[in-house]
Every structure is written in structure tokens, then in C-alpha cells.
Chain A
Amino acid sequence: GNSVTQMEGPVTLSEEAFLTINCTYTATGYPSLFWYVQYPGEGLQLLLKATKADDKGSNKGFEATYRKETTSFHLEKGSVQVSDSAVYFCALSDRGGATNKLIFGTGTLLAVQP
């Protein structure tokens, strides 16, 4: 079945460091791909998405490119801030059958130190 695998955390970085969080997926067909972010004590919120191959999603300095050839959707940011500390979830939309539900990865905790 469809699944999402993302790198395990925690990832600890200093402020202004470059961030990469890896995400790969297994899916039949052409799913949409998402990154959600969960700040401490809150629910998840959409960070960015891409709906087809080679699309680049971007928001708040974060970017991710839908790579069909490598089945990947890695999250990147050139210069992280302390306020980026959160848990990041990669997800895909499962378009199999009648349910277009989202399948999430296990999440990656990012801790940015001043």
C-alpha cells in the first residue's frame, strides 16, 4: 500500500544553518505531496504542497520539490530560525478507492538553538 518514510529525528541545528529533512514515498498513481508542521502544543498546519511531478512547493522560506524519479519530497530551508523549532510531517494523498485521505510519515522533530 501507499506509505511515507521520513528521516528520524531529532534534528538539532544552530540558527542560520541549512536544513534538509528527507522524505520518500511509495504510491500507485500520482499522489499529491504535503509537508505539515506542528508547533508545540498545537495541531498540525499545512506548510506547503505539490500536486504533480517537478512541482516545487514553497512557504515561509521552506521549499520541497516533487521528484517522481526518486519518489522523494525533501524539505529544505536555507537559514533556520529558533521559531522554526517544531515537528515536521511529510504526507501524501491516497487517491486509491473512494477515500482521498492523507497518509502521514512519523514526523521529524527539529530543534533550532540560538
Chain B
Amino acid sequence: IAGITQAPTSQILAAGRRMTLRCTQDMRHNAMYWYRQDLGLGLRLIHYSNTAGTTGKGEVPDGYSVSRANTDDFPLTLASAVPSQTSVYFCASSIESGEKLFFGSGTQLSVL
């Protein structure tokens, strides 16, 4: 099935725990992105990668890290989760940066 797969769909996490959100795409898109969606704030870019092997910081990168070892995978890691990281996280990809984005179905994360 072509598209973007995110896992898990939802997660409840204790504060201080480490968590990795997974994102895989099979469209061979060069660019990938992580956004968080919060009520009243819309989508805010956390990190992005224009091509495999490179990453960059978005609008709200603190407390998050990413890696892009290959074209298909773009995991997002919370090293030590805090309650303010409770959000819905969307992974997205595009053929090239700035072009049409394709979104995954999201991960609902609750940090208690």
C-alpha cells in the first residue's frame, strides 16, 4: 500500500520516558517532515529532512530529535518526555521540499 505509515496510532507515556515515533514512506520521496498539531496553534514543524542523510530544525525542535538513515524512514525521538509534548504528531513527505505534502494518519501521544 503506497503512502506513509505511522506507528503507534496512539500512546500514553509517563513523563521522563523515552519514546520513538516511527514513520515510513514507500513513495521514494526525498523530503520528510514531522509536525505537531495542537488546538488553536495549527500545525507546527518540529524537524525536517530534505534528503536522506540530512536533517534540519523546524519551528519547535526542543526536546525532539530525528534521523534519516535512508529514504524511507524518518523516526522522531523524545529523549525524556514532558507533559507539554502531549499532542497529535503527523509525519509527512514530499517529492521535493516545498511541494505537495502527503501526510500519515497521525500519532496521538499523551504524556502524563
CB proximity to A under 8 Å, residues B83-112: 90, 92, 96-106
Interface footprint category on B: 20 to 34
Which residue of B is nearest A94, CB measured?
B98
User: When chains A and B are docked, how far (Å) is the Cα of A105 from the Cα of B35?
Assistant: 13
CB distance from B33 to the nearest CB of A (A): 7
User: When chains A and B are docked, how far (Å) is the Cα of A104 from the Cα of B41?
Assistant: 9
Which residue of B is nearest A6, CB measured?
B42
Cβ contact within 8 Å between B98 and A44:
no
Binary interface profile of B, 30-58, with partner A (CB < 8 Å = 1, else 0)? 00010100001111110010100000101
Which B residues are in CB contact (< 8 Å) with A103? Answer: 45
CB distance from A90 to the nearest CB of B (A): 9
Cβ contact within 8 Å between B56 and A89:
no
Q: Which 9 A-B pairs have the closest CB atoms?
A: A100-B98, A43-B103, A106-B42, A100-B97, A104-B43, A93-B98, A44-B103, A104-B42, A46-B100
